[in-house]
Amino acid sequence: MTIVPVRRVRGELFVPGDKSISHRSIMLGALASGTTRVQGFLNGADCLSTIDCFARMGIQIDVNGDSVTVYGKGMRGLSQPAQALYTGNSGTTTRLLTGLLAAQRFDSVIDGDASIRKRPMAHVKTPLELMGARIEGDFCPVRITAAPLRGIAYSLPVASAQLKSAVLLAALYAEGPTLIHEPQISRDHTERMLSHMGASVAHDGYTITCEPVSRLTAADFKVCGDISSAAFFMVAAAIVPDSQVTLRDVGINPTRTGIIDVLKQMGADMKVENVRDLGGEPVADITVSSSPLKGIRIGGDMIPRLIDELPVLAVAAAFAEGVTQIEDAQQLRVKETDRIAAVTTELARANVDATATSDGMVITGGRQVRGAAFKTYHDHRMAMSMAVLALAAHGESSIENPQVVDISFPGFFEMLNQLTA
């Protein structure tokens, strides 16, 4: 796909539904007693992998555009899948399913694509094994043998919502309560949705206590727009001169809004308006207008609040004045690809001064950013980040394998065209 620089990015739009919430709506809907209706479901390949896995465990799921109906069968209603469950490219499906399946009364196997087979599972296995789970494999395919679980008190070694959620799903079936301590707060959609469905999940600072449940009550979910998808247009509007974009109904759960805080600190002109509640999650309309940006330091507690937005923030940094230092983000090394290596390599291709460090990167803005032939590493967020860079670069760019965006954002390029027309 060829992308030429644009004069401006203007308009308003609704981005597709939140990926994290969409996955969880299927999983928790399947475990609930009764019917769950989901509106605004993200029809990305990752969430469709989750649907496929639950269909293979006997759950009827009807998809009609972005409306999905899940016919829950209760906490013990899943049936043993005939084959290995295939999670495609989806880390969230893989990790959360591992916790859930560890607690079932049947054996199972989880496998995914080449990228999933390289992503670590040991950090998920460790707490589950302490609970009594029997899991073989530090990488996919992982084999799970049925075993009774007991509650534990566990300190997560990294702030990871996938890891936390895997333990929470297992904890629903354990004997006794489970206490999870997070080093930093990660996204809390699992906790919110479980509480909404009647589970006892309590937060106290960095500690979450979860009691086992015998029943979850089916609840309908309205999925907010994914702030991680909106982020691409926020940065596009910030770096392309004469731009203004309004993104409607975007989820602004405080565990996810690092992108807004950081862009504002960089000097972006952003307005967050019309804040309201949508099905237990706060949403708002976000307007971003172009303005000069300056480099900043991003690290510590901020990282889990914008982990998926770091590639596109690195693009913003390339157009900012001064140095942007990203630290404490070693988790980026084990995403869909090694995003520290991928981002710095692709930025260098665009003539940007970008250096990889063990836990992040250093980007010095100010040089002319040039269009180039960008690689995507089969990573949806790399493809979208480099497409955003291409809008504001000098000269033409190309994006290899652009259809990879369908993992989390089908229709991304159509929306981009709409804003640049």
Looking at 32-40, 67-75, 161-169, 173-181, which segment touches ligand S3P (CB under 6 A)?
A: 161-169
Structure tokens at 5: 């620089």
How far is it, in rounded angstroms, from Cα 408 to Cα 343?
Answer: 18
Name which of 12 and 328 has its Cβ closer to ligand S3P: 328
How crowded is residue 4: how many other Cβ atoms within 10 Å of its Cβ?
12
Looking at 29-37, 156-164, 255-263, 389-397, which segment touches ligand S3P (CB under 6 A)?
A: 156-164
Complete edge-to-edge strand list for the sheet that includes strand 33-39 = 60-64, 67-73, 33-39, 221-222
**Binding flag, residue 22, ligand S3P (CB under 6 A):** no
**Binding flag, residue 126, ligand S3P (CB under 6 A):** no
Closest-CA residue to 39 (of 281, 251, 220): 220
Q: Out of 191, 226, 249, 308, which residue is the one contacting ligand S3P (CB under 6 A)? A: 308
Q: Out of 36, 49, 162, 420, which residue is the one contacting ligand S3P (CB under 6 A)? A: 162
Q: Residues 172-201 vs ligand S3P: string with x where CB under 6 A?
A: ---------------x--------------
Regarding beta strands 153-155 and 269-278, do their DSSP bridges make them parallel or antiparallel, or are they unpaired?
Answer: unpaired
Question: Binders of ligand S3P among 200-229, rule CB under 6 A?
Answer: none
Q: Out of 20, 50, 246, 255, which residue is the one contacting ligand S3P (CB under 6 A)? A: 20
Looking at 159-167, 205-213, 245-253, 361-369, which segment touches ligand S3P (CB under 6 A)?
A: 159-167
What positions carry a catalytic annotation? 308
Q: Are 68 and 21 in contact (CB under 8 A)?
A: no
Name which of 94 and 104 has its Cβ closer to ligand S3P: 94
Looking at 55-63, 72-80, 162-170, 254-262, which segment touches ligand S3P (CB under 6 A)?
A: 162-170
Q: Is 171 exposed, middle or buried (0-12, 13-18, 19+ CB in 10 A)?
A: buried
How far is it, in rounded angstroms, from Cα 388 to Cα 382?
Answer: 10
Compute the least distance from the CB of residue 161 to ligand S3P, in Å: 3
**Binding flag, residue 27, ligand S3P (CB under 6 A):** no
**Binding flag, residue 94, ligand S3P (CB under 6 A):** no
How far is it, in rounded angstroms, from Cα 348 to Cα 282?
Answer: 38
Question: Binders of ligand S3P among 381-420, rule CB under 6 A?
Answer: none
**Binding flag, residue 265, ligand S3P (CB under 6 A):** no
Structure tokens at 202: 């309590």
**Binding flag, residue 161, ligand S3P (CB under 6 A):** yes
Strand residues in 96-236 grouped as ranges (E): 108-111, 134-136, 142-145, 153-155, 178-181, 201-204, 207-210, 221-222
**Binding flag, residue 92, ligand S3P (CB under 6 A):** yes
**Binding flag, residue 98, ligand S3P (CB under 6 A):** no
Q: Are 285 and 248 in contact (CB under 8 A)?
A: yes
Dihedral angle of Cα 151, 103, 135, 106, to the nearest 10 degrees: 150
Name which of 25 and 92 has its Cβ closer to ligand S3P: 92
Looking at 59-67, 102-110, 160-168, 289-297, which segment touches ligand S3P (CB under 6 A)?
A: 160-168
Q: CA-based Rg of the chain, rounded to a whole angstrom?
A: 21
Per CB under 6 A, residues contacting ligand S3P are 20, 92, 160-163, 165, 187, 307-308, 331
